[in-house]
Structure 1
Amino acid sequence: MATVNVYLTFNGNCREAFDFYKSVFGGEYPYIGTFGEMPPAEGQEIKEADRNRIMHVTLPVSQETILMGSDSISDHADQLVMGNNFSISINAESKEEADRLFNGLSAGGKITMPLSDTFWGAYFGMFTDQFGINWMVNYDDPSKMEQHP
């Protein structure tokens, strides 16, 4: 079965965003590299303004899922629309974990739906984090799921 990993693109603040996500999820970066660390491609020169931008970063958030990201290079920054074309959905293993993740990731952001029990039997909430990324946090309580097939 396939796993779902999310790739986020930023306009120069990828490192800041990933340091924040790491502070919530924990763990270490198996890889983080800048455009300036890339081997030079024939006929392509990295502008000085882009040398410290993140070319690629990975952050494992579970055994199955890796959060990945990069910065756009400055020539393409005007084409980047931040955070309005997707949501990252997290399915927590407990109500306590849902609260911790929701509260941690929503810090400095905008809550669009506070965590609460839903008519479909889940504990669910939505927000946009301080970096403009949309998130959904869900906990499927097994005792309530039995009542709501």
Structure 2
Amino acid sequence: MKIHAYLIFDGQCEAAFNYYTECLGGSLELMRFGDSPEAGNVPQQYHNQVMHACLTVGDQLLMASDNMPGMPYEGIKGCSISLQVDNVPEAERLYKALSAGGTVQMELQQTFWATRFAMFTDRFGVSWMINCDVDAQMG
């Protein structure tokens, strides 16, 4: 079994996942509501929104979609995407890129459990944590 996060956006899925692909690398696959066999049952104004996005980084997946047409959107709440990195420069790079334009709850810093740790919400409303237990470059 593998456990993967699935995020729901309110029309920003494509922009968010294009940005996450820039920051995290990997490959991105998108399917739009208008490309679905059920496109005839989806209002025209939703055809360009993302029905399913999958960012593959190594053997890890981050998936998402835009909100289903006609459903109320309540935002992404109560969870964080946690990135476990193995060196401080990578933690710093990811923190700078992903937190840009967002809201920082805890700056990237040393803690009693990690060489570096940060918590923030990105400009798309997704909560992130970056954790670097021990800097592998330092031995």
- Same fold, judged at TM 0.5 (above): yes
Alpha-carbon distance in 1 for matches of 2:2, 2:110: 27
Q: 1:3, 1:64 within 8 Å by CA — same for their partners in 2?
A: no
Gaps of 5+ in 2: none
Match of 1:36 in 2: 34
Q: TM-score, normalised by structure 2?
A: 0.89
In structure 2, distance between residues paired with 1:82 and 1:71: 11
List alignment gaps of at least 5 residues for structure 1: 144-149
Please tell me whether the aligned partners of residues 32 and 49 of structure 2 are also in contact (alpha carbons under 8 angstroms): yes
| Aligned equivalent of 2:63 | 68
Q: C-alpha separation between the residues in 2 aligned to 1:37 and 1:17?
A: 20
From the CA coordinates, give the structure whose radius of gyration is larger.
1
Matched, 1:100 2:93: yes
Tell me how far apart the structure 2 counterparts of residues 13 and 32 of structure 1 sit (CA, whole Å): 13
TM-score computed with the length of structure 1 as normaliser:
0.84
Cα pair distance change 1:99/1:81, threshold 3 Å:
same
Counterpart residue number, 2:131: 138
Q: Which residue of 2 aligns with 1:4?
A: 3
Contact 2:8 2:66 in 1 (8 A): yes
Quote the residue 2:46 is aligned against: 50
Given the superposition, is the C-alpha separation of residues 121 and 52 from structure 1 closer, same or farther in structure 2, using an over 3 Å criterion?
Answer: closer
> How many equivalent residue pairs?
136
Offset at residue 142 of structure 1 (A): 6.4
Q: Alpha-carbon deviation of 1:82? A: 1.5
> What CA distance in whole angstroms lies between the structure 1 residues aligned with 2:20 and 2:135?
28
- List structure 1 runs of 4+ shifted beyond 3 angstroms: none
Relative to structure 1, is the Cα distance of residues 68 and 118 closer, same or farther in structure 2, using a 3 angstrom cutoff?
A: same
Q: Name the structure 2 match of 1:146.
A: none
In structure 1, distance between residues paired with 2:55 and 2:86: 19
